[in-house]
Chain A
């Protein structure tokens, strides 16, 4: 029995399949490129946010100690030693900031306990610019993003 054209099963021709395949491949390539762009931008934003957050933590701790400072001096290992009034107002305490394995550590010498203040710190340098001006540089590096802040503190 012969099949009439009406009875032939409906399907796509080779040309239609080729066109659809080319279009789908093009769309997939565009989507992949867009996704790569978005993921790179998201990673960049995440790195910048983390760097800014760590830098802010370090600056807040430093400003907290320098608010009621008695004296501050750089240490031989480029750290910073701060003599400040005790939080309760009774006497003075000495704290020391130093860089230890990528962390900025605040060490209360009266208690003898070091507390990490900020992570991903790639540089912490305290140095005397003049006899009365102290310069502190904090550098944070996360995911190819580097943020650096410089503090100037006058002893007068």
Chain B
């Protein structure tokens, strides 16, 4: 009987084997705080916004480039017909449609001038031409 009682005697597991009770301090240590979550969400949102802005800018740039660069454009070169434009070395106009004429001088003078070309200076990029001429009535 004594042996039987000893067998069914509740065993004291001691403090190490006992299930530890969760204190509020331990629960706070294991979980994230609201501030941490908000900060991490803000950082992730900023990163996503940056990636989205990059994507939008890149797609706009690609579409603009595609519009600008036709794969196989065809140009019709129209040489200058005005003799002064030819003397000045004006470039030919590149038209996208056939049958267009180059620039001609709209000035129709009732007087007859003698035009003397004094000097020509072209800018480095070729976009501007400076000409000094002198006009004398014939």
**A interface residue numbers (CB < 8 A to B):** 2, 4-6, 10, 34, 38, 41, 44-45, 48-49, 51-52, 59-60, 62-64, 66-69, 85, 87-89, 147-154
- 9 further A-B contacts with Cβ under 8 Å, apart from A62-B77, A67-B80, A150-B75, are A38-B58, A48-B65, A60-B126, A63-B92, A66-B92, A88-B120, A151-B76, A152-B98, A153-B76
In the assembled complex, how far is the CB of residue A12 from the closest CB belonging to chain B, in whole angstroms? 10
A68 and B80 within 8 A (CB):
yes
How many angstroms between the C-alpha atoms of A13 and B10 in the bound complex? Answer: 33
A85 and B58 within 8 A (CB):
no
Give the interface residue-count category, chain B.
35 or more
A67 and B65 within 8 A (CB):
no
Given the known interface contacts A10-B29, A45-B62, the answer about A66 and B69 at a Cβ–Cβ threshold of 8 Å is no
B79 and A69 within 8 A (CB):
yes
B106 at the interface (CB under 8 A from A): no
B residues 86-138 in Cβ contact with A at 8 Å? 86-94, 98, 117, 120, 122, 126
In the assembled complex, how far is the CB of residue A7 from the closest CB belonging to chain B, in whole angstroms? 11
B72 and A150 within 8 A (CB):
yes
Residues on the B chain within 8 Å of A87, using CB: 89, 120, 122
In the assembled complex, how far is the CB of residue A63 from the closest CB belonging to chain B, in whole angstroms? 4
Given the known interface contacts A5-B20, A148-B72, the answer about A67 and B89 at a Cβ–Cβ threshold of 8 Å is yes
In the assembled complex, how far is the CB of residue A58 from the closest CB belonging to chain B, in whole angstroms? 12
Instruction: Select B126's contact among A5, A64, A69, A149, beta carbons within 8 Å.
Output: A64
B120 and A147 within 8 A (CB):
no
Could you mark each residue 17-45 of chain B with 1 if its beta carbon is under 8 Å from any beta carbon of chain A, else 0? 00010010010010000000000000000
Can you list the 7 inter-chain pairs with the closest CB atoms, starting with the nearest?
A89-B87, A68-B86, A5-B20, A67-B92, A153-B77, A67-B91, A66-B92
A63 and B77 within 8 A (CB):
yes
Residues on the B chain within 8 Å of A4, using CB: 15-16, 20
Residues on the A chain within 8 Å of B94, using CB: 59, 63, 151
Residues on the B chain within 8 Å of A5, using CB: 20
A34 and B51 within 8 A (CB):
yes
